[in-house]
Each structure stands twice: as structure tokens, then as C-alpha cells.
Amino acid sequence: MQDTVIHRGKTEIVQLNLGAKCNQMCRHCHVDAGPNRTEAMDTAVIDRVFSLIERTPGIRAIDLTGGAPELHPLFRSVVKRACSLGLEVIDRCNLSVLLEDGQELTAIFLAEHSVHIIASLPCYTMENVDAQRGQAVFARSIKVLKTLNGLGYGREDPSAESSGLILDLVYNPGGAFLPGNQAELDRDYHARLRAEYGISFNKLIAITNVPIARFRSDLELQGSYGSYIELLRLNFNPDALDSLMCKSLVSIGWTGEIYDCDFNQALRLKESLSRTVFDIRSFDDLEGSRICLSTHCFACTAGAGSSCFGAVTGEASKIEPAQVGEAAR
């Protein structure tokens, strides 16, 4: 992958990693977020990002992530500023954070500002979710999903009065294998969550686990890191290259450093470690620059492809983990 050359197109989405503080410590977290992390984007960086957005035609969305972005003290201010510019606001929410002390009114705030919620729910069973994300996280997530539905989020009827409140769910595999077919998973999630909990949502996003940080450590502990990388390589789908999220999304770290994606940010991987939001005049300055690629990028090009917004192409034929050795020979 390092020998491949891909260049950025026009920036449409600005993703802000507001900080690493989180109420959970998930096994697959690629930024090593947790309750004891203190890093947070300061006011100067936030002000500069909005200045650059105002100077860059074509920016349509601001994508807030972390950690748990809701725990940042300026989260609401950022949302309000983005709304005032007419941007779509996306909140990467782990759901359980909305039950933390001080977050009692956050769900209402998100609804009042029509924030698009992309919420983590890696399975529709308690056992699988709690194994990945921590004890009792599934029950807490279900409770929050019911609250969001009560506010009008996730209405499947497009004619419903609150149908503009978008609630998408994120699935990621529980181990060293690729996601199943996104459309089939979507149908399963809708059926199970509706039947068992009366929960509705808009669509499911299937994301391939990227072999970095905690997930890489987990793979190495199991002795399966090499076989997982081989799985990704053997499932490389060239059709995914045209739709890679790094071609139209820019990731901004809490210190203002610029990255091609959130995964490169976690690795501090970029062409120039000195480049920050203070070194450019607008996000248009990034157009045509070379995207920094490495082995982990195979996760975004395997099978149907993967991005922060789900599969990027039609489902491709898939080599399963048990077939890796045979295919390699």
C-alpha cells in the first residue's frame, strides 16, 4: 500500500477529534481513549478551524469525534457555531456517555440542533457488545436509544414530523474478520432491535476494524496480527480506491495538526509533522496533496471497502480467515 499514490480531492467534511477523554475503554479503540485521558482541543484551534471553514467553499459537514466528543467543555459551542454556518453536524456518540453526570440534557440539545448522531452499537446482543465495550454498556446503550427515539430520532417513516433527526448505528466485527454484507446486517439490526426493544434507527454503518492501537495489541496477544493483515491484503478491492474517505475528509487533531483520516491521526502519520491548521489559508490548500498511506490502509480497501460512513462500494467476494493460508499458497 505504501507504493500506491493517491491524492486528495476537494475537502467536503472536516472531522474534529475534540480530545481523548471517554467514559469507556473499548477493546478496539484506535485512539486509546479512556476516562483518564485529559487531552482536549483548545479555543484557539477551534476558532482557527471555523475560520478555515468559512474560507473554504464546499465544506458541507463537521464531524465531531474523540474520545467522547460530548465530554469536551466546548462541545455545545462547537455545535452551535457549525449550525450557524449551515453545516451538517455529525456526533460520533458511544451512547452510554449520555447517561454520565452532567450529560442529562445533551440528548435534548442534540435534537434541538438536528445533530446527525452516528452511534456505536457493534452488535444487537448484550454478550458481544459488553465483550467489546465493557460491562453493562449494552443495557445503557439500549436505554439511550429509547430516549433518542422518544425525541424523534431514527424515525423510519420519511413523512414523520421528526424524520430529519438522523440516527445511524455502527457495526464493527468482534474479532479478526471482515464485516458481513452491510445491507444484510442492516436488515438484521432493524428486525432484532425493533422486535426485542422497540427501537428504530435510520441505517447501519459497517466498519472494518483497523489494526492499530488497542485492536493491534489484542491481535498480537492472540498471535493473529499477521494473519489479519494477510486477510486484508487478500481481500483488497481496487474499486474502493475512488471512494476512500481520505479523498474528501480532513481529520484535525486536538492540537490542530492535519491528517488524512482519524486512523493516521492515531498513528501521527502524515507527510509533514509540522503542518497544522495555522499553516494553511483554507482547506483548499490541501487539494491535490499526496495522501499518506501505510499497511493499515488495507482495512479501508478490503471487501466492500470501509469508511467512517460504512461500505464504499458493492459487496465484493470475500476470503474468510480460515482460507487465508490456502489463498496465500
CA atoms within 13 A on the CB side of 164: 9
State how beta strands 204-206 and 167-171 pair.
Answer: parallel
Q: What is the DSSP string of 228-276?
A: HHHHHHHTB-GGGGGG-GGGTEEEE-TTSBEESSHHHHHHT--S-TT-B
Q: Which residues in 291-328 are b (16+ Cβ under 10 Å) and which e? A: bbbeebbbbbbbbbbbbbbbbbbebbebbeeeebeeee
Length of the chain in terms of residues written: 329
pLDDT (0 to 100) of residue 326 = 46
Spatial contact of 64 and 92, defined as CB atoms under 8 Å apart: yes
Q: Is 59 helix (H, G, I), strand (E, B) or coil?
A: coil
| Cα distance between residue 80 and residue 221, in whole Å | 43
pTM, two decimals, is: 0.93
Give CA separation, 158 vs 53, 163, 276, in Å: 31, 6, 41
Under 8 Å CB-to-CB from 29, ≥6 apart: which residues? 22, 213, 214, 215
Q: What φ, ψ does residue 21 adopt, rounded to 5°?
A: -70, 135
Q: How many whole angstroms separate alpha carbon 197 and alpha carbon 148?
A: 13
Per-residue pLDDT of the chain (329 residues; tens, 9 = 90+): 656 789 999 999 999 999 999 999 887 788 888 999 999 999 999 999 999 999 999 999 999 999 999 999 999 999 999 999 999 999 999 999 999 999 999 999 999 999 999 999 999 999 999 888 888 999 999 999 999 999 999 987 655 555 689 999 999 998 899 999 999 999 999 999 999 999 999 999 999 999 998 899 999 999 999 999 999 999 999 999 999 999 999 999 999 999 999 999 999 987 655 689 999 999 999 999 999 999 999 999 999 999 999 999 877 666 766 555 444 33
Using CA atoms, how far residue 81 sits from 74, 76, 170, 171, in Å, is 11, 9, 26, 30
| Pair 277, 185: CB distance under 8 Å | no
Dist. CA 320–CA 300, nearest whole Å: 17
Going along the chain from its start, the domains and CATH numbers come out as 13-328 (3.20.20.70)
Say how many Å lie between the first and final Cα of the chain, rounded.
21
> Given this model, what pLDDT does residue 45 score?
98
Beta bridge partners of 328: none
Beta sheet of 249-252, edge-to-edge order: 204-206, 167-171, 116-120, 88-93, 61-65, 13-17, 249-252, 258-259
| Residue 106 near residue 119, CB atoms below 8 Å | no
- Determine the pLDDT at residue 54: 98
CA trace torsion 189, 92, 29, 184 (10° rounding): 20
* Of 141, 195, 136, the residue nearest 170 (C-alpha): 141
- How much is the pLDDT for 38? 93
Phi, psi torsion values for 309, nearest 5 degrees:
-115, 15
CB atoms within 10 A of CB 286: 19
Q: Which CA distances in Å does 96 have to 70, 115, 117, 152, 235?
A: 11, 17, 13, 18, 34
Q: Respond yes or no on whether the N-terminal peptide bond of residue 305 is cis (omega within 30° of 0).
A: no
pLDDT of amino acid 177: 92
